[in-house]
Chains A and B, each alone.
Chain A
Amino acid sequence: MARALLTVDNLQTNYGAIRAVKGISFVVEAGATVTLIGANGAGKSTTLNTISGLLKPAGGTVTFDGVDITGWRADRVTAAGLVQVPEGREVLAPLTVAENLELGAYTRRDKEVAQDMARILDRFPRLAERRDQQAGSLSGGEQQMLAIGRALMARPKLLMLDEPSMGLAPVLVRDVFEIISEIQAQGTTILLVEQNAKKALRAADYAYVLEHGVITQEGTGAALLQDTRIVAAYLGSGH
């Protein structure tokens, strides 16, 4: 078994008096792709936002690359190599495409930033065409590509993606999953949250099912795809 890159232990997160994540534990092994699936409001985004430092946990621990990062500020978590692409794209709308990508590498001091930028613009020709345009003027699909490209500029050890295919046309959903498989192929560890459970389970080595803030099932992507309850709950018609 590979070593654990991310270990979440008994994590709890509250919104005021409401407990949204109720003591969940899971592991993401180095080099693996792990997915967290669950219905709307299950607590998926809350979990990612707590790991990335946008939210403060009420209890439990998060260990990344052997370091206890529980409660760290978001910028420090990113600097440590754990990078989140938040739900809803969230590009820096008034800044240009190129500036968004440059800021993705904000924590890096090495000399290869320009090289990575060239590679990403090469991979996303639509972004290259619009590199000096304001990010806010891009289409939804382009913004998602920019958000992913920007996160890759940080050279993450672990990339957390929160519903990257949300609201995209089927062709673009395919593109997004193609990119995810390319990122996997490069050896980057991925924690993927998706509403498109079937595609997510196919892409993932291992999966956890989150319901009302607790993990109710886990298994390999292939195993969960066979599970009749999962099929009934998350893979019904429309997916």
Chain B
Amino acid sequence: MFWQQLVNALWLGSVYALFALGYTLVFGVLDILNLAHGAVFMWGAFFGLLAVTKLNMPIWAALLVAMLGAGILGIVLDRVAFRPLRKRNAPQLAAIISSIGASTILVSLAQGAFGAQVSRFPFDTLPAQVFTAGPVRVTLVQVIVFAVSLVLMAALLLFMRRSRSGKAMRAVAYSGRISSLLGIDVDRIIVTTFFVSSALAGASGVFLGLAFSAISPFMGAPIELKGLAVIILGGLGNVPGAILAGFLLAATEVFGVAYVSSDFRDAIAFTVLILVLLIRPSGILGTAVERRA
């Protein structure tokens, strides 16, 4: 029982972490909560689905299409919902409201395009293989989701640490003003940030759609809330923190359901969130002094 739950927590945690990574990245660079991140996640799942069903692509190519599509959607989102406010120095709350509006529109559009019912990847998208080790069983889909999520996270961390654009992104996250004095085109870095963040959301949309075999225009709402919990838990804007917290939230959920009751799935998770924040108000890896205007 324990090992089975641990396996479940690991693959689910990897999807949460991947989703939250992009979420926290946008917060880190722009100081805004992009509440449309879940809607981009949902669209990513549909992009992947369309690539498989309409274009007969193999799943790996569909994943790339989903990431690209979601990434471009993220850039459009910034152009329409955030950039005009940024240019006018609007308060943060305005950006949050704007992102809620954008999210609503994106969900409505999906409803119009795909209907409100649940869609699925075809059963032969991936072999329905199951591995067993004693009492523990894990599907091929879960293994792939976990492994590819880890690879994407590692790629992002490497990008942030080593690449010129990644370093510039961290510079802009700390101070757009200093960055511009260094010759960094802050607007371009913001576009890159939205692209990367949204591409990761798109990938996690495909993964959750595959693993739960369910894609619908409303799939973004629950993970939006969980993602918010994860990035607060990890320390807002903190990339490694979001990864850690993603796994932690999944573990709390999975073990809570297994050992307490499935009725309290989300309640348990959020209780833990509140408890952690009482002890560490700025999140597990958050530091209050890391950032400034």
**Contacts from A to B (Cβ < 8 Å):** 52-54, 73-75, 78-79, 83-84, 86, 90-95, 99, 102-104, 106-107, 150, 154
User: How many A-B residue pairs lie within 8 Å, measured between CB atoms?
Assistant: 69
A and B contact pairs by CB, cutoff 8 A, 22 listed: A73-B185, A74-B180, A75-B179, A75-B182, A75-B185, A75-B186, A78-B181, A78-B182, A83-B181, A86-B178, A86-B181, A90-B175, A90-B177, A92-B170, A92-B174, A93-B290, A103-B167, A103-B179, A103-B184, A104-B182, A106-B182, A154-B183
Q: B184 touches which one: A52, A75, A95 (CB < 8 A)?
A: A75
* Known pairs A75-B186, A103-B168, A106-B168; A94 contacts B180 (CB<8 A): no
Point out the residues of chain B lying under 8 angstroms from A104, CB to CB.
Answer: 182
A-B complex: 3 closest residue pairs judged by Cβ atoms: A107-B183, A78-B183, A74-B180
Q: How far is the CB of A117 from chain B (nearest CB, A)?
A: 14
A54 touches B290 (CB 8 A): no
Q: How far is the CB of B39 from chain A (nearest CB, A)?
A: 30
Q: How far is the CB of A114 from chain B (nearest CB, A)?
A: 14
B178 touches A75 (CB 8 A): no
Point out the residues of chain A lying under 8 angstroms from B185, CB to CB.
Answer: 73, 75
Point out the residues of chain A lying under 8 angstroms from B170, CB to CB.
Answer: 92, 94-95, 99
Known contacts A78-B183, A92-B178, A92-B179; 8 further A-B pairs (Cβ under 8 A): A73-B180, A74-B177, A78-B182, A79-B183, A93-B174, A95-B167, A103-B182, A106-B183
Q: Determine if B164 is an interface residue (Cβ-Cβ < 8 Å).
A: yes
Q: Determine if B45 is an interface residue (Cβ-Cβ < 8 Å).
A: no
* Known pairs A54-B177, A94-B290, A106-B164; A150 contacts B171 (CB<8 A): no
Question: Within B154-203, which residues are at the interface with A (CB < 8 Å)?
Answer: 164, 167-168, 170-171, 174-175, 177-186
Taken together as a complex, chains A and B put the C-alpha atoms of A79 and B188 apart, in Å, by 15
Chain B binding surface, main DSSP class? helix
**Contacts from B to A (Cβ < 8 Å):** 164, 167-168, 170-171, 174-175, 177-186, 290-292
Q: How far is the CB of B90 from chain A (nearest CB, A)?
A: 17
A95 touches B180 (CB 8 A): no
Taken together as a complex, chains A and B put the C-alpha atoms of A30 and B262 apart, in Å, by 74
* Known pairs A75-B186, A103-B168; A54 contacts B174 (CB<8 A): no
Q: How far is the CB of B86 from chain A (nearest CB, A)?
A: 14
* Known pairs A102-B167, A106-B164; A92 contacts B175 (CB<8 A): yes
Point out the residues of chain A lying under 8 angstroms from B180, CB to CB.
Answer: 53-54, 73-75, 78
Taken together as a complex, chains A and B put the C-alpha atoms of A102 and B171 apart, in Å, by 11
Taken together as a complex, chains A and B put the C-alpha atoms of A90 and B175 apart, in Å, by 9
A75 touches B183 (CB 8 A): yes
Q: How far is the CB of A142 from chain B (nearest CB, A)?
A: 17
Point out the residues of chain B lying under 8 angstroms from A74, CB to CB.
Answer: 177, 180-181
Q: How far is the CB of A222 from chain B (nearest CB, A)?
A: 32
* Known pairs A75-B185, A79-B183, A154-B183; A90 contacts B167 (CB<8 A): no
